Amino acid sequence: MATYLLRRLLVSLLILLGVSFITFVLLYVLPADPVRQIAGRSATAATVENIRRELGLDQPFLIQYGRYLAGLVQGDLGRSYLQKTEVAELIASRLPATLLLMLAAIVAELVLGLTIGIIAALKRGTVLDQTLMMTGFITVSAPQFVVALLLLYVFAVKLGWFPIGGYGTFAHLVLPALTLGILGSGWYSRMMRSSMIEVLRADFIRTARAKGLGRARVVLGHALPNAILPIIAMIGIDIGIFMGGIVVVESVFGWPGIGQLAWQAIQRVDIPIIMGVTLVSALAIVLGNLLADLVAPLIDPRIKLK
Amino acid sequence: MKRLLASTALMLCLALPTTAQDYTPDPNAKAGGTMTVTYKDDVATLDPAIGYDWQNWSMIKSLFDGLMDYVPGTTTLRPGLAESYEISEDGLVYTFKLRPGVKFHNGREMTAEDVKYSLDRVTNPATQSPGAGFFASIAGFEAAGEGGLSGVEVVDPQTVKITLTRPDATFLHVMALNFSFVVPKEVVEAEGADFGKKPVGTGAFKLTEWTLGQRLVFEKNADYWIAGVPYLDSFTAEVGQEPVVALLRLQNGEVDIPGDGIPPAKFQEVMADPAQAERVVQGGQLHTGYVTMNVTQPPFDKVEVRRAVNMAINKDRIVQIINGRAVPASQPLPPTMPGYTEGYAGYAYDVEGAKALMAEAGYPDGFETELFVMNTDPNPRIAQAIQQDLAAIGIKASIQSLAQANVIEAGGAGTAPMIWSGGMAWIADFPDPSNFYGPILGCAGAEEGGWNWSKYCNEALDAKAVEADSMFDAAEAEARLALWSDVYMGVMEDAPWAPVFNEERYTMKSERLGGEDALFVDPVSIPVNYDYVWVKE
């Protein structure tokens, strides 16, 4: 177990190094000059060159990357080109909001997805089943920007049940978490449905029924714990999918997370922020996958880590 | 006239208004209350030496002051932290007398040392100020660094003397620019790079809260040196708010001003609703949208071709595409800019005339070229309209729709034959005609990486521009504007640009806000002049 963990952590570190290198290369070859973004329109050529020199952007690529890595191993993500604030501080101030939103979204998609999946499996082949699966198909394919605005318009503007965007209370959290959750629930309901159908066919369920157990006992006590196994493994992978969706959802709802930070930084070519957010996201995905792999043997003894 | 000047004292007192109250506020204005304004993008910094964004421009004006200022809602200069100023006869020495008793938010009195420190700081390369170039006429600018500017001298705690290397008619505007605003040395040195997050100035408001990515709260500076200003007790700027969402919140009574204006997609809906349309504020903007043509490369090296492009573009139709939120442009300067040539019609829309010019230039069958454009709406749609117009005279332009930074890069490098300036177009830094020339039409901007995307360089016009800007005497102001008008007429003759439209700003305010409309579309305190707006209840 310990060697497994050590090996996985080492691989994770290499992945992060690779991500940092590739992102750095991409930002370096980008035909857009961060110095021009800082200098603005009125800057003279002398001002532009001065800023380039001050930021060390006149140095060759390898030296720039080396400097970045040297800072990184000391935990220094650098300062934003435009805001002049420490990138670590900017990310730290926004990370709690993003983590909260992700957690709430995972809860939302599990509750929605599992419930729909179980119902569909039990009512297999009926109109209800087909309607639920069709709805799941639509929510998976619907653009999040549209879903977000739709929820906002109906539940916040028209019905007034929730605030129109913002951050702070539980009421603020509901709509953004639902927007992200609805997307994931489509996947989960499909997976839950097929997994449940498979389990319901299994011998032990037949045995349970034959024992004379009630329907609820059979479904919730025997079928669900077995059917849910493949779903748990998916949650870790989900974090990666969320990272993409979060940029859009945070923008629409004015949610002060790192997605919004990344989006603004990309538009202004603020390289230290883009690098910082990319690395933090990569770290989250790597850790998410690792966690899913570590948890798997705990819930299913058939899985062995080596 | 010359003899008269020579016989007067060595120093010429050009303007001595001793009060900054030469602005009569709304007699109904009430003190107190608070309001909320929203922005999509984060406020990057509130350091006046660095901030250069839509969001922070007028916030910085509310937190800090410069030696000079503008009458609210107008482009008229008035003294700010300087009580009065004198300009030497040769126009090279400006002596500013500071207003006594002005205090920073930390309670310390502002002195001439602070003025010198602030100007030294903004021009020091280590500060990385985007606005450093504005101060190039101050003596010692070339050697600016740790030692400071040799041209800025503290005469006594209330007097600053600034020596220039050449007469500069725009210098008083530069002293009203955010980059020149006065900062307290001890606070800047204590905070270092974090000063932009913990600003301390002499302005009408002080910053009391900044939650990164969420909100900034500004509170009234009770000791402000203009009595009775500001009216509001406080205001909150919420950031990270999509314009569409901001509008919904305004309709719901949660927001007072959507700082990014009315989103284009919602414009018609808002204007069609009388209750909402009533709260819309419209104002001119010191902005021109234009098509640049790279004059260094064929076929745009031929003036006939450039004029033909000017005649081929149907500006009225393009204005329709953006729901009439602009007026067709005839020249580089916008109509609200001093020096605008009244009565000049520009190149009229004339397809046949354009075709004739094309034939004259040797392109009767047209040619193929590329039109670069920024990829956010409505710019690609405008580019398509231009593409169709050009096709009518035989020019087959393929559209290169790219991210803003990439278009700017191509423009600076001179690799873009044509660029539609939308989304990157010039908005004046200060209300003076010279600000529309140097960087975007003059020889200095035509260098590699400059903002003169036409790479147009007419040395005779450059000389005229220098002559105009050396006319610093207020008595020559009219003659100077006439000279600038000549310069821009010369530009139209050579036609390196096809001016298309001047954007009008449309913003909204909640029902509870008072104050003249001009404050909400202030040409200088962009986008809102926080110091002078007030709430009704």
Q: Is B412 touching A (CB cutoff 8 A)?
A: yes
What percent of chain B stands above pLDDT 70? 95
Between CA B529 and CA B537 the distance in angstroms is 19
Q: Please answer whether residues B334 and B488 qualify as being in contact, where contact means their C-beta atoms are separated by less than 8 angstroms.
A: no
Return mean pLDDT, chain A. Answer: 85
Mean pLDDT, chain B, whole residue set:
91
pLDDT of res. B22: 63
Cα(B157)–Cα(B172) distance, integer angstroms: 21
Distance of alpha carbon B251 from alpha carbon B239, whole angstroms: 18
Whether the pLDDT of residue B12 is over 60: the answer is no
| Residue, of B75 and A43, whose pLDDT is higher | B75
Considering only CB atoms, B245 lies closest to which of A51, A254, A264, namely A254
3-class secondary-structure state, position B65: coil
Least confident of A29-43, A198-212, B211-225, B358-372: A29-43
As a whole number, mean pLDDT of residues B158-170 equals 95
DSSP bridge pairs for B258 = B38
A143 against B209, higher pLDDT: B209
pLDDT the model gives residue B474: 86
Does the pLDDT at position A90 exceed 50? yes
Q: Which residues pair with B70 in a beta bridge?
A: B77
More confident of the two residues B84 and A285: B84
Q: A93 and chain B: CB distance < 8 Å anywhere? A: yes
Nearest CA in chain A to B46: A83
Q: Which residue of B has its CA nearest to A250?
A: B240
In terms of pLDDT, which residue wins out, A253 or B349?
A: B349
CB < 8 Å to A55, chain B: 128
Question: How far is residue B476's CA from residue B486's CA, in Å, rounded to a whole number?
Answer: 15
pLDDT at B5 over 60: no
Q: How far is A286 from chain B (nearest CA, A)?
A: 26
Contact A98, A258 (CB under 8 A): yes
Q: What is the mean pLDDT of residues B465-473?
A: 92
The residue that leads in pLDDT, B2 or B285, is: B285
DSSP string, B95-138: EEEEPTT-B-TTSPBP-HHHHHHHHHHHHSGGG--TTGGGGTTB
Chain B window 283-302: which residues touch A at a Cβ cutoff of 8 Å? Answer: none
* Chain B nearest-CA residue for A29: B406
Q: Which of A83, A167, A251, A273 to mutate to test binding with chain B, by most B CBs within 10 Å of its CB?
A: A83
Spatial neighbors of A251 by CB under 8 A, at least 6 apart, are A259, A260, A263, B240, B242
In degrees and rounded to multiples of 5, residue B293 shows phi and psi of: -125, 125
Confidence at A306, pLDDT banded by 50, 70, 90: low
Average pLDDT over residues B3-7: 35
Contact (CB<8Å) A42/B412: no
Of B129, B134, B213, nearest to A256 by CB-CB distance is B213
Q: Which chain B residues are closer than 8 Å to A153 by Cβ?
A: 248
pLDDT recorded at residue B100:
95
A76-90, A221-235, B91-105, B137-151 — which one is most confidently predicted on average? B91-105
What integer pLDDT is reported at residue B21 of this predicted model? 47
* pLDDT at res. A287: 85
Q: Is B212's CB within 8 Å of A164's CB?
A: no
Residues 208-247 of B with CB under 8 A from A: 211-214, 238, 240-242, 244-245
| β-strands B257-258, B280-283 pairing | unpaired
Q: What is the CA radius of gyration of chain B?
A: 24
User: Per residue in A94-147, pLDDT tens?
Assistant: 999 998 998 899 899 889 988 998 889 888 889 998 998 888 888 888 888 888
**What is the arithmetic mean of pLDDT over A233-260?**
81
Q: Please tell me the predicted confidence (pLDDT) of residue B456.
A: 96
Most confident stretch, B77-86, B260-269, B511-520: B77-86
Distance from CA of B133 to the nearest CA of A (A): 6
Q: Which of residues 123-142 of B touch A (CB under 8 A)?
A: 125-126, 128-134, 136
Hey, which residues 209-238 in chain A have their CB within 8 Å of chain B? none
Angle in degrees, 0-180, between the axes of helices A170-201 and A144-151, rounded to the nearest 10: 120
* Percentage of the residues of chain B whose pLDDT score is greater than 90: 71
**Do the Cβ atoms of B369 and B396 come closer than 8 Å?**
yes
Question: Strands B367-374, B418-420: parallel, antiparallel or unpaired by DSSP?
Answer: parallel
User: Are residues B133 and A43, on separate chains, in Cβ contact within 8 Å?
Assistant: yes
Out of A38, A44, A254, the one facing B133 most closely (by C-beta) is A44
CA pair distance B175, B178, nearest whole angstrom: 8
Contacts of A97 in chain B (CB under 8 A): 213
Mean pLDDT along residues A283-296? 81
Cβ distance B164 to B137 under 8 Å? yes
Of A30, A54, A79, the CB nearest to B125: A54
Is the confidence at residue B4, as pLDDT, over 70?
A: no
CA distance B529 to chain A (A): 23
Confidence of residue B525 (pLDDT cuts 50, 70, 90): confident
CA nearest to A248 within chain B: B242
**Which residues of chain B neighbour A156 with C-beta distances below 8 Å?**
248
> Residue A82 is nearest to which of B44, B251, B429, comparing CB atoms?
B44
A164 and B451 within 8 Å at the Cβ level: the answer is: no
In this complex, is the C-beta atom of A32 within 8 Å of any C-beta atom belonging to chain B? Answer: yes
Q: Do B249 and A164 touch (CB under 8 A)?
A: yes
Chain B residues whose CB is inside 8 A of the A48 CB are 449
Instruction: Tell me how crowded residue A9 is: count the other CB atoms within 10 A of its CB.
Output: 13
pLDDT category at A305 given cuts 50, 70, 90 is low
Q: Is the dihedral of CA B402, B408, B413, B418 positive or negative?
A: positive
Check: CB of residue A287 under 8 Å from CB of residue A217. Answer: no
Residue A59 Cα, gap to closest chain B Cα (Å): 17
Within 443-502 of B, beta carbons closer than 8 Å to A belong to 444, 447, 449-451
User: Each residue of B159-197: b (16+ CB within 10 Å) or e?
Assistant: bbbbbbeebbbbbbbbbbbbbbbbbbeebbeeeeebbbb
Hey, which residues 46-85 in chain B have their CB within 8 Å of chain A?
47, 50, 52
Q: Lowest mean pLDDT of A29-43, A122-136, B509-523, name the range.
A: A29-43
Helix (H) or strand (E) holding B173: helix B171-174
Minimal C-alpha gap between A240 and chain B (Å): 23
Residue A259 is given by DSSP the state H
Residue A252 has pLDDT above 90, yes or no: no
Residue predicted with more confidence, A267 or B235: B235
CB pairs under 8 A between A and B: 137
A chain contacts of residue B131, beta-carbon cutoff 8 Å? 40, 42-43
> Which residues in chain B have Cβ-Cβ distances shorter than 8 Å to A46?
132-133
- Which positions in chain A touch B249 (Cβ < 8 Å)? 164-165
For A232-245, give one letter per residue: b (16+ CB within 10 A) or e.
Answer: ebbbbebbeebbeb
- Which pLDDT score is estimated for B379? 93
* Residue A301 distance to chain B (closest CA, Å): 45
Q: B388, B442, B390, B452: which is closest to B416 by C-alpha? A: B452
Please report residues of B whose CB lies closer than 8 A to that of A167. Answer: 214
| B41 Cα to chain A: minimum distance (Å) | 7
Task: Mention every residue, 6+ apart, whose C-beta is less than 8 A from residue A298.
Answer: none
The answer to whether residue B252 neighbours chain A at the CB level (below 8 Å) is yes
Q: Regarding predicted confidence, which is higher, B5 or A116?
A: A116
* Mean predicted confidence (pLDDT) in B430-451: 89
pLDDT of B65 > 90? The answer is yes
Over residues B311-321, mean pLDDT: 96
**Which H helix or E strand runs over B39?**
strand B34-39
Considering only CB atoms, B193 lies closest to which of A46, A79, A250, namely: A79
Asked if A167 has any chain B CB less than 8 Å from its own CB, the reply is yes
> Could you tell me whether strands B395-402 and B367-374 are parallel, antiparallel, or unpaired per DSSP bridges?
parallel
